[in-house]
Amino acid sequence: MTAPGKSGGRPLAAITVTDLHVDLGGVAILEGVNVEVRHGEITALIGPNGAGKTTLLLAILGIVPYRGQIKFNGGQAQPRIGYVPQTLDFDRGMPATVMDFLCMGHQRRPLWISQAKGQKQRARDTLALTMADHLEKRRLGNLSGGELQRVLLARALMEGPDIILLDEPASAVDRSGEELFMKLIKKLNQEKKIAILMVSHDLTMVTRLARQVICLNRVVLSEGKTADVVNEKTLSACFGADKGILLHDHGWDGEVSCAYDEAGHEHASAKDGDAK
């Protein structure tokens, strides 16, 4: 893992996106996007549906074609990137176990011969990191949303990543699963100093985890420290003034907890002092 350096008191950039344009099917999805994700920081990417958040992640992964420049570690070294997709759309009756899934793509030996001993140990170690070691022999299709997210996070960690990209990590997770996932992300960020770029609709998660927030809607509308970006004015500009954004200050070391729902209903807000 690359040790994060510092420049002028702030960590060095892990990802620098400059003048990024993505067109898909003749439609401009991203236009002139400039963002920076720094080592050791959690950066949240927020914006309405169709804003291009996932597309930005895919461009960083090199999966979608783009114009512009994406540099890693200031162009000095190729990073190892771990990716946690929003969901896995697969046949849930297939007999693949969690261990099968973690070995896929990490071992050359075909799974129909056996799981490689070294890979199994590596998978067990990362499952333990994400508090999912008891899931090793379970079928992938039998996992709950929260369990699956922790397995996906373990898979991302198996890459030994400098950077982790999370796409809507809490979208299919219940409240307790979300709490556990947030704790894990925070712990990984603090202990391993991994740069994390997280797409999220959940502003509670954003305010509790992210140090930096990028507000995106085809172009970058706002970028900065969480408390500076997550406010009614910026969010109204980003999501639209009619979207029912409620913000309350719980007074946790100045952190803002908020509730947002596109239908205008109040969303669960942070209830404990974990954000301290």
Nearer to other proteins, 159 or 262 (CB): 159
Q: How far is the CB of 105 from other proteins (least distance, A)?
A: 5
Nearer to other proteins, 84 or 238 (CB): 84
Angle at 209 between CA 122 and CA 32, to 5 degrees: 95
Residues 6+ apart with CB under 8 A from 224: 212, 213
Nearer to other proteins, 136 or 261 (CB): 136
> In whole angstroms, how close is the CB of 252 to other proteins at the nearest point?
35
In sequence order, which residues have a C-beta less than 8 Å from that of residue 144 and are 6 or more positions away?
174, 177
Q: Cβ closer to other proteins: 200 or 204?
A: 200
* Furthest-apart CA atoms within the chain: distance in Å: 58
Q: What angle do CA 42, 46, 47 make, to 5 degrees?
A: 170
Q: Could you tell me the smallest distance in angstroms from the CB atom of residue 63 to other proteins?
A: 5
Binding stretches for other proteins (CB under 8 A): 25, 58, 61, 63, 81, 83, 85, 88-91, 93-97, 99-101, 103-105, 107-108, 110-115, 139-140, 155
Angle subtended by helix axes 145-158 and 117-129, to nearest 10 = 120
Structural contact between residues 123 and 104, judged by C-beta atoms closer than 8 angstroms: no
Q: In this complex, which beta carbon is closest to other proteins, that of residue 160 or of residue 240?
A: 160
Answer whether 132's CB lies under 8 Å from 125's CB.
no
- Report in angstroms how near the CB of residue 242 gets to other proteins at its nearest: 31
Neighbouring C-beta atoms of residue 109, cutoff 10 Å = 11
Q: What's the closest the beta carbon of residue 272 comes to other proteins, in angstroms?
A: 33
Q: Which is nearer to other proteins, 1 or 104 (CB)?
A: 104
* Structure token pair of residue 221: 């509308």
Q: Which is nearer to other proteins, 99 or 270 (CB)?
A: 99
Query: Is the torsion defined by CA of 212, 269, 201, 130 positive or negative?
Result: positive
Angle between helices 175-192 and 145-158 (to 10 degrees): 20
Smallest distance from other proteins to CB 64, Å: 10
Q: At its nearest, how many Å lie between other proteins and the CB of residue 86?
A: 9
> CB of 192 within 8 A of CB of 29?
no
